[in-house]
Structure 1
Amino acid sequence: MQQRKSKKILIYFFLLLVVGSINNINFNGLKFQNINNINITGLDIKNKLILFKEIENFNLNNIFLINKLDLKHEIESNTLVENFSIFKRYPSSLDINIEKTKFLAKINKNGRIFYVGSNGKFIKNNTSNNELPFIFGNPEVFEFFKIKEIIDKSKISFTEIKNLYFFPSKRWDLELIDNTIIKLPNDNINLALNLAIEFLNDHKFIDARIKNQIILND
């Protein structure tokens, strides 16, 4: 009885060695195809090439060995990117779909003109867009988004804004495209703005800095 068990154990062990050897041979002989196609959508040709150069330093020799987290970090560092998705198309292609950020305003930083993107980033760009409002002063990006949200919820459109003036006291002035100036307070900005809007048709200077008061000057 003991001999039969020993023989069975030997047979199982032998079969295990054979199967393991076959699998090892197949695995060692298996060659993964290199990535030969990267498709980037959502950007113009120039910025596609820039993004491609930014990601080409990664290990793109094998679609199974790509460090997806590092690749995501590299794409996110591109200031034009709002959102994105990465799809692996086996065996040898990558699809990177980009949602480009929207340009909201312009600002001068250290002598250079930047766009403020809806992704919260300052974007270098050589193109000119005179339809965007210009930000004077040096606000943090969150301060710009705060005043923009207030404007968007008010009775005027952000497209009616020509310039935004930010002061060290954290206060804003707005200049509309018809050259009307609205001076806003530090607090209760939304209430002050909506009150000031009531006088837009008749006055070009509206001072709403004092609570519950409007000072007008033609």
Structure 2
Amino acid sequence: MLKCAFQYQQDNCLLNIELEMQQSLLGIVGASGSGKSTLLKNIVGLLKPTQGYIQFNQHILVDTRQNIQVPMHQRKIALIFQQALLFPHLNVKQNLCYAEKMLAASERKFQFDDIVALLELKSLLQRKAHQLSGGEAQRVSIGRALLSSPNLLLLDEPLTGLDSKLKQQILPFLKRMKDELDVPMIYVTHHKEELEYLEAETLQLSQGQLRPR
């Protein structure tokens, strides 16, 4: 599925990553500033490894020796950020549809109505972004990412900034995604209890390297 062996160095950040992911959900836990977001940005293509390679489903995304760097928009990988980045001038339905309108019908993995039902978004479809709670906005963000039909979904501390009640509302949706959707996910956080709830196999990112917990 996902296989990486790369180094990334920038300012005070140094990662030496060796990773082979075969499971549907991989959790990565680490302290703030340990490089979790940097790791995901290298995989999705926002950053470029200093040296090494990243391979997904036998396709080489990065190989510094061969000077291969597949552009981010061609990788079919979606990244969910800590804060929902919705288009403020669009309502929820338009935000969701924005992702799938870029795809031919034959390329769509999921139906709009199925994702709306999975994330319980039907009652929100006509609302604008500023009318949503933090938890609602993050659910819309996740739905939009899924409707882009990714082959891999990366979640960068998606519950950061939400209070305990909102976290308890979103975690069951993430669990349903793991159980019901055929999309592998990497979930990074510094709250190991989130990964325990999701029953994720977990690695620890410490001193720039991934280790078993």
Q: TM-score with structure 1 length normalisation?
A: 0.20
Q: Specify the structure having the higher radius of gyration (Cα).
A: 1
Q: Which has the higher contact order (CA 8 A, sep 6+)?
A: 2
Q: TM-score with structure 2 length normalisation?
A: 0.20
